[in-house]
Structure 1
Amino acid sequence: MSNRFVLFFVLLAALQAGAQRSYTALVNPFIGTGGHGHTYPGASMPFGMMQLSPDTRMADWDGSSGYHYSDSVIYGFSHTHLSGTGIPDYCDVLLMPFTGNVAWKSTEYRSPFSHSDEKAAPGYYEVLLRKHEIRARLTTSVRSGIHHYTFPKGTTEGSVLIDLIHRDEVLDAHLEKISDHEIRGYRRSKSWAENQHLYFYIRFDEPITGFVINNNGREESVAAATGKAVQAAVRLRTMGGAVTCRVGISGVSMDGARANLEAEIGGKPFDAVQKSADAAWNDKLRKIDIAGGTHDQQVTFYTALYHTYLAPNTWQDVDGNFRGTDGRIHKAEGFINHSVFSLWDTYRALHPLMTILEPARTNDWINTFLAQYKYGGMLPVWELSGNETYCMIGYHSASVITDAWQKGIRGFDGKLALQAMRSYAESDRFGLRHYRGGGYIANDLEHESVSKTLEYAYDDWCIAQFARMNGDSGAFRTYIQRAQYYKNLFDPATGFFRGKVGARWHRPFDPAEINNFYTEGNAWQYSLAVPHDIEGLKALHGGSRFGNHLDALFRASTVTTGREQPDVTGLIGQYAHGNEPSHHVAYLYNYVGAPYRTQELVHRICTDFYRNAPDGLIGNEDCGQMSAWYVFSALGFYPVCPGNGAYVLGTPIFDSIDVHLDNGKLFKVRAPRKDTASFYVNHVRRNGRRSLQSWIPHQFVAEGGELFFGLQPHPARFGVSGTNRPASAIREHLIRPVPFVTNERNKFRDSVAVELQGLDSTGGWMVQVQYAPRRDGSFGPGSRSFPYKGRFTIDTSAVIDIYSFRSAKPDGQPAPYFVSRQPFFRLPDNRSITVQSAVHPMYTAGGPDALVDGIMGGPNWRSGEWQSYFAKDFEAVVDLRESKDIRFLGVHVLQEVSPWILYPKDVQFWVSDDGVRFREAIRVPNAVPGTAEGAQEQELGASVQLRARYVKVRATSGGTLPAGHPSAGNPSHLFIDEVIIR
């Protein structure tokens, strides 16, 4: 049978099923609730404010959403949840039905449950609580929800616990009974969001027959209470053995919560509200109609599409009022205000997907960004309930804004948007001052410096494109040059983006090591983080060798070294699909004329890493990004570089896909295949015209084109030639990458020859040598400046400033120079050290000499100045070269409990005249508790009166992390940077 007839019957079947098809029946909300997906199974609406869902876990990383499929107890049902994040928050206002006497402790009121008694669908959740044999059913509208509890047969009175203590730290809470059917209150809490406001209004259909408040452990028969530990038990007369509880929430006020409930649900029956939720979800899910594939593939697809609609969340009341990032109440005019912007994740695929499916909502989100700039002073980085968390890196709101504008979604103030983007880019936040001045960020100045430099460069490219589209040539020139700053961290010797300390490459270097130079990844996973200038990146690799780097990445060992990073999952070589920096990488083979490799990898990822099972996601869902990757890839293309208006082709999963656009047009994908092995693309047809191009423009999708994939079971020459490849290149206002210092170490004895090297090897650099650097930032006499002609020698401590032109062709713009700074230190001649403990390979501070160089590290443990001894004591012997009077013995140590760094329990010293026979000198205990918060440093030591040549030191490990720490019981780091002998 020909492909034409196969396609005819597929389309006929789809047409017959279309009218009565239930898309929600193809959603499995339990996908992602196991493993590390961090999703929740409960009821919510598309972009809803309320997420009414069970809570099965009080804490830990895999309990970030409040629910994990491996758990066997339910604490109750709370009204706010995060979908797939890697940090816990929300789970506000817990309700738990019960019979008999009230139990206030969560370990006593929780109930066992079984997945065999559990059901979930979009907008609906149901479970049997086995402790009291109560069946709970939940459904929602946008800002409101209904609990329906069916008690055991014969029950005439049932009770509901309201727990405002649940999970997060409570800053303030209030609860009051205002009638025989109504309760209202609020909770201000602190977790990921520093000051979250959540107001609620509860109305029971049944009359309240008993009410008691537990306020900080005291039961009180009062109508209201305020405090940090408020709970209430509500007894109700059941109707037919059931209780119905209607809840509205608000970020503004208790009155707002009531108004939301009245406007959305009022007195509607449970089934009517559930039916409305199902209809709302079907309206969204039917926007993409698929045919073909297996049942599991269809469920996986529609569940992924469902997940993309769970966030961002509506964050305003029905009257338009919302709480802004300034903590004040504002009114949204002409847009719907939202919250929960996980932009480091979602700019990559979720937001580009919504430019196709939800252009009006995209305008709402960008107007929300601008409201946050207007009221809070900055565009969002990771905003949560009106709180900027500053989580993750970059200013990726610029990507969302530019991508929308480029695609013709322009329902916002473009002039204000450019101002807001530039305001963030010109701020001094998170290393931006150093990035602007030096063309890169050194890790001694700001941690995660490689990732920040690379992601800032992409964001600057977005600003440049937006400026050009709005006619601002000056801003375009500035930001298109900044978009090339990624070049300043490319090491030609290794072919990786590497971290610098000062102007030197950090050593030792292992591309598989997860360390403080990269954000949730390593050098492999950030080696391709230049989506906006793939041609420039290829040139750095020597052109044709770029494909070799791609091959090496996918064929490398899956073993990572350094820090344990739970996000790095779903490994194919060093490609990590479980975390976002890798998400575009499989599509890069199209740029080197090997689309068949993209097709192989995309097919493998879709097959192996997305499954119809609770652990069916290979990593965190991350507010829709993980699922958006799948939706795009199932369609057959992906936005490698949001903002350039192009989609790079892969291979579709289904035989027929219809995308119903809001402009009334229909975008079609057709991909008939003989068997599951036929995923290689032989050619495509765009509106019937044969094409070998391995990319399509967004306009082709938006205008309702038809994309036909000719598939076969073996690789083809589709997209091989240069003219058929996607393009991503910066071709104007090119920069000259900064030189780097080639010296492996910046500490020396006697003298050192300083050498510079640049990617273009053209020189032309100016050098300023400033001698005898002082702690106050001043220098001693004898500074000199000269053009660099080759290596030069210094024999005393100095700071080297290197000036290099920014532009390949200087154009008279302000600040034409990059300035890189590299200090060199001459080591003291009067001592050496032999370290007898094994240093942690990630924190060596350049070697043992760092412990006797006389240079004290600061409070930044990531700066590279500190040595770490993990789960062990530190022992060493210092040789003073001759017998000397000693007046003080000590060590300079650091503590910051959050990253597992504790002060030593004590430090002990022994002295010797011959290096063999040692006598005890002093023992100094540490007095600072391991629970002390924040970064701190101290000279742990004491005055002495003795004479010796050799000093032996032992600092005793701080032991395990204290109770209350998220990783309590694990071993700690001992950070030391100097053995002090005066």
Structure 2
Amino acid sequence: MPPARGLAATWWWPKPQVGNTHPGATSPLGMVSACAYSGAYPTGYGRYAKNTEGVPEEMFERLQASGFTHFQQSGTGAIRKYYNYVRVTPMVQPLDDLNESWPLHDEVAEAGYYAATLDTGIRCELTVGAKIAVHRYTFPEHSSARVVIDLSCGGLDIDLGRTVPVRAQAESMGQGRAQGTVVMEGVPLSVYLEVDSPGWRQMLWYDRRLIHGGTRLDFDSIRHTTLRPFGMLFMGPARAGQTVEVRLGFSLRGCEQARHNLERECAHDSSAFDTVRLRTRARWADHLGRVQVEGGTPARRTVFATSLYHALVKPCFADDESPFWPSPGPFAFDVCTMWDIYKTQLPLLAAIVPDRAADLLESLIRVAEEEGNFPIGYRMARGADRFFRQGSALVHTALADAHVLGRTALDWNWALVHMVGDLRRMYGEDFFEHGVVHPITHTLDLAYAHHCTAKVARALGDRRLADDLERRGRQWTNAFDRDTGLLRDSEFYEGGKWNYSFRLLHDMAARIALAGGDKEFVDKLDRFFGFGARPVRQPGRCPHPVEMAAGYALNRFEGLNNEPDMEAPWAYHYAGRPDRTAEVVHAALTWQFGTGPGGLPGNDDSGGLSSWYVWASIGLFPVAGQSLFLVNAPAFERAVLRTGEGEFVVETSGHRETPIGVDGPDHDPPPQYVQSATLDGEPLHATHLDAATVHRGGVLRLRLGPEPSDWGREIRPPSLSETPPHRR
């Protein structure tokens, strides 16, 4: 992206300015994705090595692929779980060349579709359904073309990035049919496949050697030191332009269910690829149509559409597929992680795909039943306690919001049991005993989770439990140093005390008083966001530790580069300065996002960052756990949010189109400010709306202007220690 100007130029971001997404075929919140595989970090697609600071280092000089894999991560960082299972490689070379990578040309990426041409002249097209993938390969003329399925593939070609199956079996079933299962990190992934290649032979292979006449391979124990690649191969002569279709059904419950999944979603004819592609395209059109905008420059509209798309790729839903419990129902994985998505993406899913949001909560409750605690991150692997260093008890926010809305058919008494039990796990035990825990950010997490749980308990009629939880929820104050108004010194996960000190707590009025009042709080925010500061130099490739230390010492906003920073701009609302929120959000929308491969300010975080862009662009921001939306000047003239009950419309007057950085402005375009507002025709003097209002539908009209106004300065968003109308 171009160098930032104005306020955005004072921000400092340590992470690479890339989203770590991939262009492969996906289905909305589906189980399966498919993309070209190079082994690069972190999705398996692309050219870059593992990178967490500065400009990313190149792993390859060109875009290339050794085949096409399934189950890619999206927007994550160093999570040590990278999937990329079941590699399919179309070849006109001997099997010995299986791991060779060929340059990619003429790439095409659409929602639900990916295509590229290998340097060998083979045109490769991929599409997916919810639980299936279909590949179509168009070959040049060759006497011995082939399609090779590698069941042993997994992970990335980086240090500690490879995933090795511990057990496996593969079976050739004749007439273009085969199946297999690999157990990866305790999960049995099964695939049933059909290859439409009349007249071709099919064989199993092991260690790049064909097994003539063999119909089954079994591996009872595999180690890193004993692994040799294995799989199936289909081969025969190809005419110029001949197409071969590979149809794959996946399941976490065995090959028979994988076969049923394929039959359910895919016809057994030559039009299967086109049928699946059109069906998935229609699903994407429906999902993406649930948020519509009018106005905006072409670049801004492109970034918005891409952000909404990325927000609907993860988590992965595999209904009736849990390998850990036998009963039917929703099973969600690739929750990577709650720390990334609970503030922005989960409220977006709750608004526009409420059925899936409810399924996610049901799945997470089932994980708590089976594994003992709510997960911070949950992948295609057993282990709900992974990522616990990032945060504590974050599922409670989504459950509290869902209960207030009253549209989720959960057993809430049973949910409350798990919410209360989870508060005592991991860092929660120390918090229960001492009211404070280090890393100090977990004190904020746990206090907030107690508050969220108290709301559910009170609504269910358990006043004694609610009183106790609410009392413990007030212990967030133990995390702050009253002399500085910031968090106490501690260890911090990817950040420092400045990053975490401006979270939107359940008692922001008391938080602001702790900092010394409105002026002192705003002064701290202004320092954090760089108002009046000089532009800073961003880290380059392989930055020196001294350079990084100097950057961190700025204690500056990281430009959405880190999860705690996502909600910080809206802290101004609670101090009566929505004009400052407008300036920070406008600078981020203008200079932090672009249309190119580097068009995201850091990891997309499984859609959490892209969801931030969607909310900020339409002028709303959810406060997770408080059933609340904050209002800000939108980036579009008009936006329509199609919720579960109706349509919530944000309309503006006086809106002025502003370019984003990739449009090449030679100056920093000024922000716009809300001058006045109405909701369904009635004056709205507050800068917030309750979530039920947004979900129910209505019309919010905002009059915009070029100068700050008095709108929103008097009536503040609600705080626990204050009663409406929250005036100062």
Shared fold (TM-score, shorter chain, > 0.5) = yes
Helix, strand or coil at the partner of 1:630: helix
| Partner residue, 2:632 | 650
User: Partner residue of 1:715?
Assistant: 708
Cα shift readout 1:325-380 (whole Å, capped 9, x = no counterpart): xxx43322xxx332222211111011111221111111111111122122233222
Shift of 1:66: 4.0
Which residue of the partner structure matches residue 159 of structure 1? 146
1:209 corresponds, among 193, 200, 213, to: 200
**Cα deviation code 1:581-626 (max 9, x no counterpart):** 1111101111111111100111111111121111111111111110
Match of 1:602 in 2: 585
> Is 1:175 matched up with 2:158?
no
Flag the structure with more relative contact order, 1 or 2, with Cα contacts below 8 A and sequence separation at least 6: 2
| TM-superposed deviation, 1:49 | 0.6
Q: Structure 2 CA distance, aligned partners of 1:599 and 1:370?
A: 38
Do 1:54 and 1:78's aligned partners in 2 also have CA atoms closer than 8 Å?
A: yes
Q: CA deviation at 1:237?
A: 5.1
Q: Percent identity?
A: 27
**Secondary structure class of the residue paired with 1:96:** strand
1:529 to 489, 492, 503: 503
Which amino acid in structure 1 is aligned with residue 71 of structure 2? T
Q: 1:150–1:241: 8 Å Cα contact kept in structure 2? A: yes
Name the aligned partner's letter for residue 519 of structure 1.
Y
Partner secondary structure for residue 322 of structure 1 = coil
Cα distance in 1 for partners of 2:250, 2:567 equals 38
Residues 174-198 of structure 1: per-residue CA shift (max 9 Å, x gap): 22211120111112223xxxx2321
Inter-partner Cα distance in structure 1 for 2:375 and 2:631: 31
Amino acid at match of 1:263: R
Kept after mapping to 1: 8 A contact 2:19/2:604: yes
Q: 1:237 to 1:463 in 2, by over 3 A?
A: farther
Deviation at 1:409, TM superposition (A): 2.3
Whole-Å separation in 2 of the counterparts to 1:387 and 1:66: 25
Match of residue 158 from structure 2: none
Residue in structure 2 matching 1:635, options 618, 623, 633: 618
Match 2:354 to one of 353, 359, 372: 359
8 Å CA contact 1:455–1:529 kept in 2: the answer is no
The whole-number CA distance in structure 1 between the counterparts of 2:437 and 2:98 is 49
Who is 1:234 aligned against?
234
Aligned alpha-carbon RMSD (Å): 2.5
Letter in 2 for 1:140: V
**For 1:564 and 1:380, how far apart are their aligned partners in 2?**
35
How far apart in 2 are the matches of 1:307 and 1:476? Answer: 38
Q: Matches of 2:656 and 2:434 in 1, distance apart?
A: 56
Among 680, 689, 707, the residue aligned to 1:687 = 680
The answer to whether the aligner puts 1:457 opposite 2:447 as a matched pair is yes
1:236, distance to aligned residue in structure 2 (A)? 4.1
Q: What residue in structure 1 maps to residue 570 of structure 2?
A: 587
In the alignment, which of 305, 308, 311 is matched to residue 311 of structure 2? 308
CA deviations on 1:861-914 (whole Å, 9 max, x unpaired) are: xxxxxxxxxxxxxxxxxxxxxxxxxxxxxxxxxxxxxxxxxxxxxxxxxxxxxx
More helix per residue: 2
TM-score (norm 2): 0.84
**2:331 aligned residue (326, 337, 351):** 337
Q: 2:545 and 2:431 mapped to 1: Cα distance? A: 26
Deviation at 1:263, TM superposition (A): 0.4
**In the alignment, is the contact (CA less than 8 A) between 1:74 and 1:113 conserved in 2?**
yes
Asked whether the 8 Å contact 2:674–2:705 carries over to 1, the reply is yes
Match of 2:641 among 659, 662, 672: 659
Distance 2:181 2:286 in 1: 33
Shift of 1:84: 0.8
The 1-side partners of 2:76 and 2:546 are apart by: 20
* 1:670 counterpart SS class: strand
SS, match of residue 682 in structure 1 = strand
Q: 1:470/1:695 Cα in 2 relative to 1: closer, same or farther (>3 Å)?
A: same
Note the alpha carbon deviations across 1:752-776, whole angstroms, 9 max, x for none.
xxxxxxxxxxxxxxxxxxxxxxxxx
Question: For the residues of structure 1 that align with 2:432 and 2:44, how far apart are their CA atoms?
Answer: 38
More strand by share: 1
> SS of 1:388's equivalent?
coil
The alignment of Structure 1 onto Structure 2 pairs a total of residues equal to 647
Distance across 2 between alignment mates of 1:530 and 1:276: 41
Conserved? CA contact 2:499–2:555, under 8 Å: no
- Where does 1:904-919 land on structure 2 (aligned, <5 Å)? none
What amino acid is aligned across from residue 443 of structure 2 in structure 1? Answer: T
> Which residue in 2 is equivalent to 1:49?
31
Deviations 1:403-424 (A, max 9, x none): 1111222311100110011111
| 2:141 equivalent to 1:140 | no
Change (3 A) 1:102 1:284: same
- The CA distance in 2 between the partners of 1:179 and 1:68, in whole Å, is 38
Q: Is the 8 A contact 1:305 1:627 kept in 2?
A: yes
Residue 158 of structure 1 and its aligned partner are, at CA, apart by 2.1
Change (3 A) 1:731 1:470: farther
Alpha-carbon distance in 2 for matches of 1:667, 1:143: 32
Label 1:573 to 1:495 Cα distance change in 2 as closer, same or farther (>3 A): same
Give the residue type in structure 2 aligned to 1:51. S
**1:917 matched residue in structure 2:** none
Whole-angstrom CA distance in 2 between matches of 1:138 and 1:633: 33
TM value normalised by structure 1:
0.63
| Bigger Rg, which one | 1
Other-structure match for 1:397: 395
Are the structure 2 counterparts of residues 495 and 668 from structure 1 closer, same or farther at C-alpha, using a change threshold of 3 Å?
A: same
Within the alignment, does 1:112 sit opposite 2:103 as a pair?
yes
Shift of 1:563: 9.9
The whole-number CA distance in structure 2 between the counterparts of 1:627 and 1:613 is: 15
**1:730: how far off?**
4.2
Q: Separation in 1 of the partners of 2:708 and 2:547? A: 38
**Equivalence for 1:869:** none
The answer to whether the 8 A contact 1:525-1:576 is kept is no
What's the counterpart of residue 489 of structure 2? 499
For 1:288 and 1:432, the matched residues in 2 are separated by: 38
- Residue 63 (structure 1) aligns with: 42
Distance 1:104 1:331, change over 3 A: farther
Structure 1 counterpart of 2:371, one-letter code: G
1:78 and 1:93 in contact (8 A); partners too: yes
Match of 1:437 among 430, 433, 447: 433
CA contact (8 A) 2:297 2:657 kept: no
| Cα distance in 2, alignment partners of residues 575 and 477 from structure 1 | 38
2:529 to 538, 554, 576: 554
Deviation of the 1:35 alpha carbon: 4.5
CA distance in 2, matches of 1:598, 1:687: 24
CA 423–626 in structure 1, closer or farther in 2 if over 3 Å, else same: same
| Aligned twin of 2:73 | 82
Q: For residues 493-531 of structure 1, what are the alpha-carbon distances to aligned partners after superposition, in whole Å with 9 as ceiling and x for unaligned? A: 33321236xxxxxxxxxxxxxxxx111111110112352
Cα 1:200/1:525, change in 2 over 3 Å: same
Structure 2 counterpart of 1:728: 719
Aligned equivalents of 1:619, 1:498: Cα separation in 2? 27
